[in-house]
Structure 1
Amino acid sequence: MNEMKRVLLFMTCCLLITVASTAKSNDDLRFNVGNYTIEVQVYTPEIIRILKYPKKNNRPEKESFSVILKPEKVAYEVKRMNDICSLKTSSVTVMIDLSTGQIIYTDKDKNTLLQEKNDGVEIIPQTYGTEQTYSLKQVFLLDISEVIYGLGQHQEGRMNQRNQHIHMQQTNMDICVPIIHSVKGYALFWDNYSPTDFIDNAQGMSFNSSSGDCIDYYFMFGENADGVIRQIRLLTGDAPMFPLWTYGYWQSKERYASQDEIVGVVKKYRDQKIPLDGIVQDWRYWGEEDSLWNSVEFLNPHFPNPQQMVDDIHRLNAHAIISVWPCFGPATNIYKEMEKKNMLLDFPSSPNGIGKVYDAYNPAARDLFWNYMNRNIFSLGMDGWWLDATEPEQAHYNSDILNMKTYLGTYRNVRNAFPLLTVGGIHEHQRTLTSDKRVFILTRSAFAGQQRYGANSWSGDIVSNWTVLRKQISGGLNFSLSGIPYWNTDIGGFYSNNYYPGGVNNPTFHELYVRWLQFATFTPMMRSHGTQTPREIYKFGKKGDWGYDVIADYINLRYRLLPYIYSTSYQVTQHAGSMMRALMMDFPRDTRVYDIDNEYLFGPSILVNPVTEPMYIGRNGDKTLLNFDEVKRQNVYLPKGNDWIDFWTGKTIKGGQEIMREVPIDIMPLYVKVGTILPMGPFVQYAEEKDWDNLEIRIYKGADGEFVLYEDENDNYNYEKGKYSTIRFWWNDNRQELQIDKRKGTFPGMLKERKFRFILVDEVNGIGINESSKYTEVKYTGKDMTIRL
């Protein structure tokens, strides 16, 4: 309290301040405090950058890997009296105590948002081998009850990131993004790429990096969670749109051993009338010899005609992506060429331990990597990339590796940014080559800003068990709250045999897999993958078998939801939206949701409550027990501030309460906000099989609502030139009236006329996945319409 009184006494003198009382941006504010210098840079009224470095040094020449925003011209006011300098924009005030260096951030109503701790700075000289650098630490003080999120993906089953210690270094199943996202409506990005410890305890919250020239962080104020995400994307880049087909169902395994096998899987899905859009070719298409690891060429004799393979998949109206690693075996052409040009890092990074990682920090190495990928794979018509092990994976880890030199200095200095550089290189090269095919990259790691590179990260080589399934939810949500919207997980877990001997032949695995697939239906990518057991639907029986039928139903549900999902992806791109939404984003006044780790919203309207424990299948010695007669139940919390309608039954339930929902094996609890307008697509075998010329539009009455239906050419980048259309729907609950706005925009192939089938969902007409027979049909020609339902 005394500290804040002192901060608010604006006394008269300020060290090194030369700006006028009303200043324009790009006038850096510099202060010497003790033995270090502080610089304050105003990027926007909401984004403030702080640099701290030894006073004896010049400002470090640092170029951020993550930040693409340049400081704007921003009017701000500076007041200074004695030891206190106050910088005020239209959104935030930054107060600097020039005697201690402490910085405090407040909003325009003078509410404290975040403050540094007095004496919370450490800039300590360090020597690693021959390198002279600094270890860097900044301590902040959070409110006792303040809840924070983000930090990337750490699979500890936590939503709230308070009171823990995380060593932030990229690994197989940990994605390090040094961004915290507070319920108070701000974010902080610690812009450092060396191994970093995040610690929150009674002494404060701190970032402590092992190496760097200066402390460098960005404070971003967004007022609410969506505003925070907008500030993160403004600072580090927007997420481009993925093709429509990527939101369909994906089949994969470790691995398809021949081109006949992978094409055969697609054919079998088509024969069985099960929707499929993506198939993934994992490793060893380059051959079985370890020395040929990741040659970025088809050298395996079981793939004699890769062009034919890609063409066959396309003729079946499916798409393929392929595994490429950032390391190469010594017998490969790319290894030999990179070795001659000093483009390899001298540590192994492949399961066999004999390959070497390429120097992703070297732009010429990224060019060479793409040249091989383009010439040998992309030129065949391949539809996307599975960039595996982009941490990168290391067979051996020790301090000597961190001391290794890269193109941009020691590996220690740039270690955590490896995924950003390697994924960014592929995106930029493909984007430069063609605008006809949108970049799609599936990758195992990420860093701040990676959303701008058309990448969807997955949660790594997780094991198959129920505890891990539940931890995926909080892992994905915190990843999204770090500003990166696209994330997914191996359906069923990657490693299965340690927990489920016999894999797909073990009925207990069927229950886990079915529940995992239900959850994955409501993630940005629905992708089946794993080792030790195949996951294709026909491995779970045939039509009429419970496992097969539930899998088929949820794949079909995913396709019915494509208009909703694709329209949400438009909001992600155009308005910095989020697909997986932690409940605090939409219900910030309901403190009960702050630490809920097993529920979220998918898009703006659908509450998802995955089933994360076994209920129907167990073991008694060598005997498997199946008991579907007794229907089990699960707790569901419905946030207050909205009433909710059960997706399956149409029953309306008041928010702000916990209920028990029956969860037979074919039901995962789903609740829709009242006031929701939900477009449902046709039953199809692949995403573009049918036009959306007769969409079913469900109205979940009980409150006013709106929805914007987005459409474009489904691939290519013409949407960036304005070639897309939107149709806005408004529901007036009082009048039971739906207004359809005039269609905005146009694109080649756009439907000029269409029909909409409008359905009022209630307990009589609660229809779940099925099409309703009770609807009001209208013809729409792009003009304003009002319909009374």
Structure 2
Amino acid sequence: MTRILLLLSAVCCVMQALANQYNPVADPAAIVKASANVRFTVLTPQLIRMEWNEKGIFNDHASFLVVNRKLPVPAYHTRTESHWFILETSGLELRYKLNSGKFDSSNLSISLKPGRKIKWVPGMVQQQNLKGTARTLDRFDGDSNVVKKQRLKLEDGVLARDGWTLFDDSKNFLLDESDWPWVMERKDKNGLDWYFLGYKSDYKQALYDYTQIAGKEPLPPRYAFGYWWSRYWSYSDNELRDVVNHFERYDIPLDVLVLDMDWHNTDSIHARPDEFGQRKWWTGWTWNKRLFPDPEKFLQWAHGKKIKTTLNLHPASGIAPFESQYSAFARRMNFDTTSRRNIPFEGSNKKFMQTLFDVVLRPMEKQGVDFWWLDWQQWLEDKKIKGLQNTWWLNYAFFTDMEKNRDTRPILYHRWGGLGNHRYQVGLSGDVIISWKSLEYQPYFTNTASNVLYGYWSHDIGGHTYGKQGIGIDPELQTRWVQYGALNPIFRTHSSKNPLLTKEPWSFKGAFFDAQYDAIKLRYMLLPYIYTMARYAYDTGISLCRPMYYDYPKKEEAYQFDRQYMFGNDILVAPIGSPMVNGFSTVNVWLPEGNDWYEWPTGTLLKGGQIVQREFSIDEYPIYIKAGALIPMYGDEVKNLSSNPDRIKLGIFPGSAGSARMYEDAGNNKDYASQYAYTNFTSTVLPDGSLQVVIEPVKGTYAGMKPKRNYLLSFYGYAVPERVTVNGEEFTYQDTAAKGWHYNSTEMSANISIPGVAINKKTIIKLNFGLNTGLSVNNGLKEKFKRLSRVTTELKNKDANIVIPVTIGNLEETNRRLEYNPEQFKQIIRQFNADFPKIPETLKSLGLDKATETWCLSYLGFR
């Protein structure tokens, strides 16, 4: 990983404005011709291109997979030994037998070095590919297709435990050299065009090398990381305004409205296939005025609410005569309209696609449509070019048109088209069956997608359909899915056109609503961290959600716990994929060694290097923070991501010293590659036991960057400090203040408010804990306080006249006494720890029925 960081710092000043510039011609110094019909290109120390062509005609065009070969030339040397040509880098040794013809196992080999010896020859089959992703999860219940009765077969990915990967680009389509590069077929498909990547178990280096030739994961606009409301429903202007009003009423953040197919007119209400074999109501380009009497004003209203919109497109049936754009489109295409036929869709026809954008789509973008949901019929091929998949090609065409013709950052929401489609961002995983099996499978599916850099899957959170009518929503399943979705790359609820599938958060009651509300709020609180990790993905190829084996490649548990994942560099998530038993979800969690881990929902610091079994109530989710991590966050006041908020919340977690940085940019600009800023944070334990946090001056600049910001520092899992200073100035304890500090006993955190911090100045915060130095409050106190409150509430609900015993009453109010009397923190904690084990005996004195007593004891952890 050190090599990656060094390389990044060397090239960051010359990064291009767009995410994917095509530079397919390699530096001549990287190219070696072993003979007239054999050419090798040294791309990185671990990556070599190998070409054989009978006529000695080699290709320097970009392909659908490889768009860049103009890389810094790595050190290498060549020599000849006994008719063998040998090429060596620091990572590979290639041997080719001179004048022996087309590559095969007898004349070509590559050995990986140094250390563990791995030797590859042509024809060798990978045994342990770690898989990539798939086109769609339509009709899948978990990994089982309910229609075809088949298991899902994931495509192979970039990574394998074999330690090497071969990309065969020999028959792939190419891109021409026009100002909008267009598809072209290879003239000679009998040659060989291979890329060998050798990496042993250094998966992160392998993915970085892959980005160097296949392009980066473009950074989506900041708003894309907020909450998307989506439902297949014939929403009207009035209904969508009502939905947004409810989001505001319930104080739920929202960034994107997704309009499914009914936004447009169709030529039939029947399901009969048209001349292109498509359902007649799917394709449409003209606003349905019965639902949206003035689309432009609707879009203006949405923008006034700082909400983005995306519209669903199914282009298969072309442009029908009833479309408002039909005549103008026909004139541009010289299409004979006498018969009033549809103008057929021709994705590989450049003039057709340019006309589609100029005449149909760009006018709607000017009205206010922010981006497109390209829901193409997944399995169709282009009519003119054999083998050209519409899914892959249309993703390319739509995204690159936005790169060329829009001032805002390109974003496209679409199906997976195959290798290379990571360059076009957000994926739609498809219409999954609503079930625990589907929820349980999605973390694995998301994890492996990062192995092909497809790091922005958008799932139908809550599932799409039951496959039959008459079934309502399971509130527990929906709640667990929302909690998982909040810790996904893209957070979008969705469902089929079924009146029983009402997934609006306010449709749920009690603990289910509270848990979903908290999950959405958590998503927004973590946005600075998420956005920083999205930039990290752009720079390195390491996606936001990724398997455990990226960080722990030599640990078998990293492969066994394949639903578990790292959410960025400092957060581990162990998803819940089954219903609760007796009020709890039980999860086996692997906590890797090398770190301790802070179980955030319960306030428990756990040792790394072990597998633990943990229990979580409906309002808890298995989130683990690396000990000492510093997590940049937003406060509760953030309702959408249209701009950078004035206040940053910095979470400082216990167990170690740490460091972090926060990435920022203008949010929706195309020049993010060169215009951005970082803020570095460090925490240090001083010799006297004090904790020091340093906020460094901001480095970099971008449009709209503010000269000052407010900070809230939250020290999770720390005792009450005796003294707090900021740049030497002592801060006072206050319950609420713009400047000062207080203790939040619900989160067991000290919170320091610092207003008006100049971003070009260093800020030093010190906490001296005095008599509380070394006092541990990370043994689940946070969870105990919460559960005590519920137990006392349930006892009163069962018997309104019950007299809560003094011991239990005092224990339940401990958190409040901590805030009221912070100077007594140590004594109060010690008293709590002494009295908590007395609960079973105290409960017996109440004479409760056996079921109630058993529930209380179990809920409080006495088993």
TM over 0.5: yes
Question: What is the TM-score with the length of structure 1 in the denominator?
Answer: 0.76
Partner of 2:194: 217
- 2:745, 2:290 → 1: CA distance? 44
5+ residue gaps in structure 2? Answer: 1-27, 138-142, 145-149, 174-187, 269-279, 336-340, 721-742, 768-863
Tell me: CA distance 1:316–1:772, structure 2 relative to 1, closer, same or farther (3 Å).
farther
Structure 1 residue 610 corresponds to structure 2 residue 591: no
Counterpart of 2:586 in structure 1: which amino acid? R
**8 A contact 1:278–1:321 mirrored in 2:** yes
Tell me: CA distance 1:585–1:110, structure 2 relative to 1, closer, same or farther (3 Å).
closer
Larger relative strand fraction: 1
**8 A contact 2:533–2:544 mirrored in 1:** yes
SS at 2:673's partner residue?
helix
For residues 23-422 of structure 1, the aligned pairs below 5 Å read 24-30=29-35, 39-52=39-52, 55=54, 59=58, 63-72=62-71, 73-82=73-82, 84-97=84-97, 100-109=105-114, 111-113=116-118, 115-117=120-122, 120=123, 139-140=124-125, 147-153=128-134, 179-183=157-161, 186-191=164-169, 212-221=189-198, 224-290=202-268, 291=280, 293-328=282-317, 331-332=320-321, 358-389=345-376, 392-394=378-380, 406=384, 409=385, 411-412=386-387, 414-415=388-389, 418-422=390-394
Structure 1 residue 447 corresponds to structure 2 residue 418: yes
Partner of 2:629: 676
For residues 467-616 of structure 1, the aligned pairs below 5 Å read 467-498=437-468, 502-503=470-471, 505-506=472-473, 509-533=474-498, 537-538=503-504, 541=507, 544-615=509-580
**8 A contact 2:374–2:413 mirrored in 1:** yes
Shift of 1:89: 2.1
Tell me: CA distance 1:141–1:664, structure 2 relative to 1, closer, same or farther (3 Å).
closer
Partner of 1:755: 710
Counterpart of 2:292 in structure 1: which amino acid? F
**8 A contact 1:183–1:584 mirrored in 2:** no
Tell me: CA distance 1:675–1:243, structure 2 relative to 1, closer, same or farther (3 Å).
same
SS at 1:547's partner residue?
helix
Structure 1 residue 743 corresponds to structure 2 residue 743: no
Shift of 1:61: 8.1
**8 A contact 2:318–2:345 mirrored in 1:** no
Counterpart of 2:493 in structure 1: which amino acid? S
Shift of 1:155: 8.3
- 1:112, 1:662 → 2: CA distance? 44
- 1:71, 1:690 → 2: CA distance? 36
Shift of 1:439: 1.6
Tell me: CA distance 1:699–1:74, structure 2 relative to 1, closer, same or farther (3 Å).
closer
Shift of 1:763: 7.2
SS at 2:632's partner residue?
strand
CA deviation string 1:250-309 (max 9, x = no partner): 111112332222232222211222111111001132224245642322145322211111
**8 A contact 1:256–1:262 mirrored in 2:** no
CA deviation string 1:514-566 (max 9, x = no partner): 11111111111100011044655547635x52322221111111111111111
- 1:174, 1:386 → 2: CA distance? 24
**8 A contact 2:589–2:611 mirrored in 1:** yes
SS at 2:311's partner residue?
strand
Tell me: CA distance 1:714–1:375, structure 2 relative to 1, closer, same or farther (3 Å).
closer
Tell me: CA distance 1:431–1:24, structure 2 relative to 1, closer, same or farther (3 Å).
closer
Partner of 1:728: 680
- 2:576, 2:745 → 1: CA distance? 18
- 2:475, 2:624 → 1: CA distance? 25
**8 A contact 2:230–2:494 mirrored in 1:** yes
Shift of 1:491: 0.5
Question: What is the TM-score with the length of structure 2 in the denominator?
Answer: 0.70
Tell me: CA distance 1:719–1:630, structure 2 relative to 1, closer, same or farther (3 Å).
closer
For residues 678-693 of structure 1, the aligned pairs below 5 Å read 678-684=631-637, 686-688=639-641, 692-693=645-646
**8 A contact 1:175–1:447 mirrored in 2:** no
Shift of 1:651: 1.2
Counterpart of 2:449 in structure 1: which amino acid? F
- 1:677, 1:760 → 2: CA distance? 9
SS at 1:217's partner residue?
strand
Larger relative helix fraction: 2
- 2:225, 2:684 → 1: CA distance? 31
Tell me: CA distance 1:322–1:192, structure 2 relative to 1, closer, same or farther (3 Å).
farther
Structure 1 residue 658 corresponds to structure 2 residue 645: no
Counterpart of 2:255 in structure 1: which amino acid? D
CA deviation string 1:17-40 (max 9, x = no partner): xxxxxx932333348xxxxx6543
Partner of 1:15: none
Counterpart of 1:605 in structure 2: which amino acid? D
Tell me: CA distance 1:387–1:632, structure 2 relative to 1, closer, same or farther (3 Å).
closer
Shift of 1:248: 0.9
What is the aligned length? 664
2:594 to 626, 641, 653: 641
Shift of 1:745: 1.6
Shift of 1:378: 0.7
- RMSD over aligned CA atoms reads 3.6
Tell me: CA distance 1:772–1:680, structure 2 relative to 1, closer, same or farther (3 Å).
farther
- 1:769, 1:374 → 2: CA distance? 53
SS at 1:309's partner residue?
helix
**8 A contact 1:682–1:690 mirrored in 2:** no
- 1:701, 1:460 → 2: CA distance? 40
Shift of 1:673: 0.9
SS at 2:121's partner residue?
strand
- 2:671, 2:166 → 1: CA distance? 34
* Structure with the greater alpha carbon radius of gyration: 2
Partner of 1:787: 765
Tell me: CA distance 1:154–1:732, structure 2 relative to 1, closer, same or farther (3 Å).
farther
CA deviation string 1:75-114 (max 9, x = no partner): 5322222353321123322223566445333334164345
